[in-house]
Chains A and B, each alone.
Chain A
Amino acid sequence: MAINLVKGQTIDLRKNDKGEEFDLSQVTIGLGWDMRQQKSGGFFGKLLGGNKDADYDLDAIAFLLDANGKVASLGRTVQTSDGRQIGLYEGDVVFFNSQKHPSGHIWLTGDNRTGAGDGDDEQIIVRLNALDPKYDRIVFLVTIYQGRQKGQHFGMVENAFIRAVDARGKEIARFSMSGDAAFSNMCGMIFAEVYRKDGGWKFRALGNPESSDNFVEILRKYTYQ
């Protein structure tokens, strides 16, 4: 068996206070960040600055993997009412263009494009115990939408975090992308995964930075073709 050292892996040494397990019947992935302060100011700043002052648009994404560690369904391409073609619709990827998985057991609460609001700005909620057994693992990631094109990376975004919360509301893991040198110049991160083990679910924090701002590039590692 060949094994490779995977860079950017994470080992979590924390224990629960009372040694109790997290309740993984449901898990919520919360993504939060602060709105961009418009330094150039107002209407003219926007007009002159082009993309320079573009809002930070962070996205939470989930890949549902089968027993082979692959995304079995890439959904279909559909046309929106304004004529755009969007891919991956109603497949095993939950993201801004396909916010509710066809099973109904995993969904994105909405696409926040600016970071407005306190706490979690976007959430992905999974009812793990209701998921079909064919789903063996779910990988959660975050990317900055069009971050490369807009010249953005996590090092610029204020108070960006991603966290996982169990069914009782207890925080399982949290990563801060702001102010961490490992995420400077990075536009993506594979945050964590939940996977089936001994009839239940296990959570593993990963925190692997990715330079890509496009989850479809990361998805290629998880597809059959």
Chain B
Amino acid sequence: MAINLQKGQKIDIGLSRLSVGLGWNPNEGTGAAFDLDASAFMINSSRLIPAEEYFIFYGNTDSPDGALHHTGDDPTGGNSAEGDDETIQVDLSRINDSIEEILFVVTIHEAAQRKQNFGQVRNSYIRIVDEATHTEVAKYELGEDFSIETAVEFGRLYKRNGSWKFEASGIGYKEDLAFFVSKYFTGQVIK
């Protein structure tokens, strides 16, 4: 049984392996493909990614500590008819000690150029799944909750007293992935 999240809702994650799944339906019309992206920022106590490799996205699918693995880019939503089109797998036991928080975001690639938002995309969601039992812990329906937005901060895993918790943030933005990267990365961003 899935929990549809309230903003700011906190969930205890006793799980050692979980995954964040993003799913949507391909564009059945004549316009440009819907290219949704799931990404994760592994953030240290300075509120930054310690190195560029700790930003997990279509261009960097594995974190150096081996804790996060992105299954790869789906540029259309065609990977799976019913299930997740992009997945970020998390092994909490392997996370580098300096990482205090992992932030998950969803963005629409080139949303501005393609004049797209989540409201146009059918059956789009982001969810967190317990990999041990394959049960859904929490889920957002993007099209309903963020119809005019192009980016969503889904939620964050954070460490408290040695164990991990998940807090749903559910904040929509009319921004792109570079917006989030510039918050947690001080280097150069090529768009």
A residues in contact (CB < 8 Å) with B: 1, 3-15, 18-19, 173, 182, 205, 207
Contacts and interface: CB of A to CB of B under 8 A. Distances in A.
28 contacts: A1-B65, A1-B96, A3-B51, A3-B96, A3-B98, A5-B46, A5-B186, A6-B51, A6-B187, A8-B187, A9-B52, A9-B185, A9-B187, A9-B188, A10-B188, A10-B189, A11-B55, A11-B181, A11-B188, A11-B189, A11-B190, A14-B190, A15-B35, A15-B59, A15-B73, A19-B73, A19-B75, A19-B76
B190 A13 contact: yes
Please classify the interface of chain A as helix (H, G, I), strand (E, B), loop, or mixed, using the class held by over half of its residues: loop
B187 A11 contact: yes
B50 A10 contact: no
A13 B51 contact: no
Contacts of A12: 59, 190
Given A13-B178, A15-B58, A15-B73, A4 B191 contact: no
Bin chain B's interface residue count. 20 to 34
Contact of A13 (B48, B97, B191): B191
Contacts of B52: 6, 9-11
A84 to B, nearest CB: 38
Contact of B188 (A1, A15, A18, A207): A207
B86 to A, nearest CB: 12
Interface string B85-105: 000000000001110000000
B111 interface: no
A174 to B, nearest CB: 10
B150 to A, nearest CB: 14
B177 interface: yes
Interface string B154-175: 0000000000000000000000
B109 interface: yes
Interface of B: 35, 46, 48, 50-52, 55, 57-59, 64-65, 73, 75-76, 96-98, 109, 177-178, 181, 185-191
Contacts of A5: 46, 48, 50-51, 186
Contacts of B55: 11
A205 B51 contact: no
A152 B92 CA distance: 50
A29 to B, nearest CB: 17
Nearest to A10: B188
A13 B96 contact: no
Of listed B46, B59, B109, residue having the most chain A CB within 10 A: B59
Nearest to A173: B190
Q: Which 9 A-B pairs have the closest CB atoms?
A: A9-B187, A19-B75, A3-B50, A10-B188, A12-B190, A9-B52, A11-B52, A11-B189, A10-B187
A7 B109 contact: no
B186 A7 contact: yes
A104 B99 CA distance: 44
Of listed A3, A7, A182, residue having the most chain B CB within 10 A: A3
A7 B187 contact: yes
A10 B59 CA distance: 12
B48 A182 contact: no
A205 B60 CA distance: 12
Contacts of A15: 35, 58-59, 73, 75, 109
A10 B190 CA distance: 7
Given A1-B97, A207-B190, 15 more contacts: A1-B65, A3-B51, A3-B96, A5-B50, A5-B186, A9-B188, A10-B190, A11-B52, A12-B190, A13-B177, A15-B58, A15-B73, A15-B109, A18-B75, A19-B73
Nearest to A207: B188
